Chains A and B, each alone.
Chain A
Amino acid sequence: MKIGMLVIWLCILPFLLGAEKKRLDEPLSSRTCNYVIDVYLDTENKKVKGKQTVVFSNPSGDTIRTMPFHLYYNAFKNNKSIFNTGHSRIPREIPDEEIEQGIWGKMQVLEVKDAEGRSLDFGYIQPDTDNKHDHTVLEVRLEEPILPYDSCRLEMEWISNIPKAKARTGYNREFFFMVQWYPKLGVYEPAGSRFAEKGQWNCHQYHPNTEYFGEFGVYEVTIDLPEKFKTGASGFPIKETESGKDRKKITYLAEDVIDFAWTAHPGFIEIIEEWNGIEIKLLIMPEHICNKERFLKAAKNTFEFFEQYLEKYPYPTLTIVSPPFHGLFSGAMEYPTLITSPTLCDLPAGIKTTETLTIHELTHQYFMQMVATNEQEEPWMDEGFTSFFEAKILDKYYPEGVVDLDYFDIKVGSAELRRGRFMSTYNPKVNPLSDFGFNFKHGSSGDIFYGKAATGLMTLEGLVGEEVMQEIMKTYFHRWKFKHPCRNDFLEIVDEVVGKELGQEKKEIANDFMKQLIYGTEVCDYSVASITNFLIPEPLGYFEDDEDCKFPNEEQWENEYLSKVILFRNEGITVPQEIRIVFDDGSEKLEYWDGKKRSYEFVYRGQHKIECAEIDPGLKIPLDKNQINNSRTIKQKNNGLLRATVSLLTWMESIMAGLGTLI
């Protein structure tokens, strides 16, 4: 062996050993669809040339004759794709200069061969619409079908134009954010799994309103790119070599993931820290380095939370990409073991967007990456669950709130912010959670996927208690990690756990509530309609004895009241309620109402008047849209209103005094 070779070996040996240590001891998932990809990044012409070997194992007893692939880049191929014409909550304008210069992102598959080396036929299909201009799904027709539980290997070659700063993906200046960037096989659903009545491919077109769905597998991706670029990707690097003049080849391995994302920028600073055996790699721009600790702390808090609540994060690495300002198109997004979370150093420290985004995207590693629900059909099952946990983690580790502006006396917690955003949405009844995500066409989709679902889960937790809720989540996670559940699978577990822990009655309550939440479009509002205290008069006049007339103050008579609280259910959702009733001697009663009728009353007879009544004093039902009418008091003892009036007064004076300088 030559000395030079030895030196090179000695240099890369620790690297290789490190990489070896990160490999998982045993597979976490079924590894149904595995990729080996070689990709050449042409940073000059913003093109990618790729070759991939896909090995797919038929998970069913069906014989499969075609294989559909997502070609997400083709969403940016023309202005008639459903991505560019469908309803969306993300903006998608195409700049005039790109139209004039003919800059469109696209992906063209050049050749597909099977294991025998036969060139296969392929073409675009539109499973969801009849829009022939949409080329986001490519169907490969096999010469030889895949037999039950057999596997199939395809060799594919493609070339693509990287889109310029489009939704979540593309390039701008020297920032490349490579997601949805390779031909990605759909998910085969055997009969009985999710909503499949018979075996079927699940491969939707690229709808602007919804995200993705992918099969578990191992990705080995070799990226050839200019030397000066710093990279980050799903998984971890296992090999790095030179590749011609000023170029390098770097190979990443990601095991048991549903997708593969990577990014490159020459300006990234790489910060690596370890937490409990997990390597956290932060790719950050120099101008954002001030927030370094905020990212790392948020990631560690999330890891710690889930280790206690569900299970330790099983992957060896997490890459956090904090994109440059010119890379904001990448958004805040989640990919397997790689997340993006933008930050700004000039924002006030009391605004916790850096933490919120990091915690949210990292939580997605559990809900969408490990528990791989279909984000296109049931977006609430990843966004709602994630928002539910995001609020839990933030309110636990950042009790000062996610918006904390001392000067204005403003403090807002994560859970209440999430609830408030949903409550303020334009139309909370526009679609039920059970509708497929891309069928939300008339707005409010985000508030419903995230807000209604998260607030609904918080309400479920209120109904069953924190411990049982954790048990539900744990059971759900353990049973469905590295698989593809749907809402029925979750509902089954709610029934099972609540039934086991709290009995039949609570099980029915939880089941009834979840059905209203998922399949219904109604909202929830209960109120205290009135409180009355009627003084029972002393008996005067003739009673049983016609000879004996009773006169005032003749006999000892103690004042007694007939006191009544009337409650209303103002909206469609029914949910059982606790009611706290306070009497004027300070004594309290905690009552229960099944919440079903439109109105209900509690009546008391005694020496004390009811002073106030409060529905849901423990704030267990955050889904109640108006918490102000949940309580009523006979006399307001609190001077909160005085405070508000005084501060309004001084604000108004300030404004007028300010405007006075214009006179």
Chain B
Amino acid sequence: MLYGILFSVALIMAYTFHHYIDDRIGNSLMIGKMISGFNYTLYTDFMNHYGVGANILFNQNVFLILIYLVISVFLMGGILGTYRHHPEKYESELFWSKAGSFFGRMLRVTLFFGFIHALIFFIFWQVYFMVIQGGSPYNLENEGIIFSAPKFIIPIYILVASFFFMWHDYAKISLIHQEHKWVFRSILNSLKFVLKNIGKTWGLYLLNVILIGLLFLVNYFIGNLFEISNTATIFLSFLCTQIFVILRLGFRLINLSSANALFTTINKVKKT
């Protein structure tokens, strides 16, 4: 379903774009240049003469993406609720009631972590900026550091950021499980939980991150396998990317469910 919504929103965006181009330049022979990918002359001439509309569409897309994100927040309550109660088979009533009752709290958790993720990114960016001294030829002897620093900073960032993303996930799980009214209780509880079981939780999370990384690599290689030249290959590549998107969403859900399982088992062990 998440895929369905994602696909529909993307389809709306792509369709309006399609419609706009078709309306403006649809009967130009230049359209043929699009088949081989990006064409610079077509792009500049289009943006220079029909770009105003494209910019409006772009802004509208930003808005649509925001709507998609809000819907995802809403669904998250349902997904995690279903995981927690793991009924024999999927119950739509349970899903929607959880989605509805946790929406406000999920949104607050999202905003809180959104702020945290931005902060972490900002800190790392600042560190990089300081290390490269603004990247200015006035301060640096040579450009080496500008390119070598990311080789250290990005892996550290992934490690650190993945901790916060993980905490974010457990905060949501703990919110659903313990049904706190006050979201900061869940956020704090989950932090305690994560820290106590850092080996297991972080290990599992990093494993998931690596799997997603592998998925990207596979997608890259498949994408390079064939040249797009006609309708058949367009659909073939479309299918490949759709499978890739579904897999990505699937991985995300597996990630959450594995975290949920870990959370449940560890808490059970504690209780007994």
Using a CB–CB cutoff of 8 Å, the interface residues on chain A facing chain B are 95, 165, 172-173, 285, 287, 324-329, 344, 346, 403, 406-413, 416-417, 419-420, 423-424, 612, 614, 625-634, 636, 638-646, 648-650, 652-657, 659-663
Contact = CB atoms under 8 A, between A and B. Distances in A.
B44 interface: yes
A403 B41 CA distance: 13
Nearest to A612: B29
Interface stretch (B142-150, B175-183, B264-272): B142-150
B40 interface: yes
Given A632-B28, A646-B14, A655-B65, 11 more contacts: A328-B137, A407-B224, A614-B29, A626-B45, A646-B237, A648-B14, A648-B17, A653-B6, A653-B10, A656-B9, A656-B10
A94 to B, nearest CB: 12
Contact of B14 (A412, A652, A661): A652
Contacts of B9: 652, 656
Interface string B215-230: 0000010011000101
Nearest to A329: B137
B42 interface: yes
Contact of A652 (B10, B48, B137): B10
A634 B28 CA distance: 9
A639 B30 contact: no
Contacts of A410: 37-38, 40
8 contacts: A287-B142, A407-B224, A409-B37, A412-B40, A424-B48, A632-B28, A636-B27, A643-B37
Contacts of B137: 165, 172, 325-329
B21 A644 contact: yes
Given A416-B40, A654-B245, A643 B32 contact: no
Nearest to B12: A652
Nearest to A327: B137
Interface in B137-177: 137-138, 140-144, 146-147, 165
Given A614-B29, A649-B11, A657-B6, A628 B49 contact: yes
Nearest to A525: B49
A2 B15 CA distance: 91
B143 A344 contact: yes
A324 B142 contact: yes
B141 A326 contact: yes
A419 B72 CA distance: 44
B92 interface: no
B65 A656 contact: yes
A95 B138 contact: yes
Contacts of B242: 650
B127 to A, nearest CB: 20
Nearest to A624: B45
Contact of A631 (B29, B37, B144): B29
B7 A653 contact: yes
Contacts of B65: 652, 655-656, 659
Given A628-B25, A645-B18, A652-B61, A661 B245 contact: no
A267 B41 CA distance: 42
